[in-house]
Chains A and B, each alone.
Chain A
Amino acid sequence: MSKKYNYNYVFLFYDVDEKRCNKVFKVCKKYLNHYQKSVFRGEISPSKLLKLKKDLDKIIDKDYDYVSVIKLLNQSFFEEEHIGKYDLQDGEMFI
């Protein structure tokens, strides 16, 4: 996809040193919903995404850590399948 799109939904995976794990976790949960151990996802506006990336930039060590963001247009652009027990996830409208 070209850069013209406005991405409004992201998946974020991180693989960082133990020392920085918690810091990255704290930043991510401000913007996105916790999905699995080191996976976040959720709706986010392009401007908020820039802010999130800037926040992460300050924390991680670029020579060692790796954070990947998969950007999607919106929630209807993928299909999800569950195997195993599906708990109430963060990010649902009702808690």
Chain B
Amino acid sequence: MGEAVRYIMSEGELKRKDNSICFRKGGRNYYIPIEGIKEIYCLNEVSINTKLLDFLASNGIVLHFFNYYGNYSGTFFPREKYISGRITVKQANKYSYERLKVAKAIVKGIAINVVEVLYSYYKNGNHEIKNNIDIIRYEITKALDPLTNIKEVLSIEGAIWTQFYDALRRILNKDFEFLKRVKRPPDNPVNAMISLGNSILYTKTITQIYHTHLNQSISFLHEPSDGRFSLALDLSEVFKPIIVFKTILKLVNKKMIKVDKHFDKALKYCIMNEDGKQIFIKELNQRLEETFKHPKLKRKVSYNTAIKLDALKLVKYVLEDQAFVPFNVKELV
């Protein structure tokens, strides 16, 4: 609880009614309780007005918009509650002097999590992927330490993903052919799922960072450019293998999602249809809500909270110079 989300999949009108939210669709009102809700996703055409936005702002609710094809189009978030000039200045300072350190930590985190996901398949008898695991584990990770240039670190990250996608091809069920990662637009079912999953994870990270004092636009691994929250890209990176890809692998290998049933192949590329999106998002959300015992906090924590903890770790790093070690599955055991 407390992390409640709603996904609006149908056309309609979202409005404020009696100090609560109401979604009007086909002549029927669906009430969304204002208390306890944190995020609302609009995945279809939804009309809103400023009255609603003002109301959401006063309750600290974040609203994400996606277009018809499932591409992320933007987020409405309330006037920043957590503003700290002190942290912004220090964060920028860290960016200028210690960017490499953080970027390397993130790439290392990706490598650990990727290997962890692959290893569980290797353990269960899929020996084809041993080569990929070894390359990531021994060659790529070793190459990381001596680097002094951010471009090279980024190319290492690219190399990790290439190996991972290569291994993925061998794990996935035959119906789901996956040759390489293609974006904008995705060209086959797996790419469609990866794109949707990544953009939802990205928005989840934005929401979590919103609740800390960090500045969303100063990032370390990705180039801090205009027009997007690159810090969210940084922080979501290590969670991709354990949240997005684990969900995809589960859906595909348990045959919960089928190529001919859940994808729209009318155009040249593939997008998920309504049903497919629903199944996928539900599973992804379940994964995010899943809890594990946190070794330091000594209590159960969901992956969603783990994203926020990562943001807080970064705050600690920025303010108090505590080493930033992004979330990894190994630290749980």
Contacts and interface: CB of A to CB of B under 8 A. Distances in A.
Interface size class of A (residues with CB under 8 A): 20 to 34
A38 interface: no
Interface string A39-54: 0001111001001100
A47 to B, nearest CB: 10
Contacts of B7: 93-95
Given A29-B18, A30-B19, A95 B10 contact: yes
B8 interface: yes
Contact of B33 (A8, A33, A95): A33
A5 to B, nearest CB: 15
B25 interface: yes
B292 interface: no
B9 A45 contact: no
Contacts of A94: 6-9, 278, 281-282
Contacts of B19: 26, 30
A31 interface: yes
A42 B33 contact: yes
Closest 5 CB pairs of A and B: A26-B18, A30-B20, A29-B31, A31-B35, A94-B7
Given A30-B20, A43-B4, A51-B35, 13 more contacts: A29-B31, A31-B33, A31-B35, A32-B33, A43-B1, A43-B36, A88-B30, A90-B30, A93-B6, A93-B7, A94-B278, A95-B7, A95-B23
14 contacts: A26-B19, A26-B20, A29-B18, A29-B31, A31-B36, A42-B33, A43-B1, A45-B36, A88-B30, A90-B30, A93-B7, A94-B7, A94-B278, A95-B25
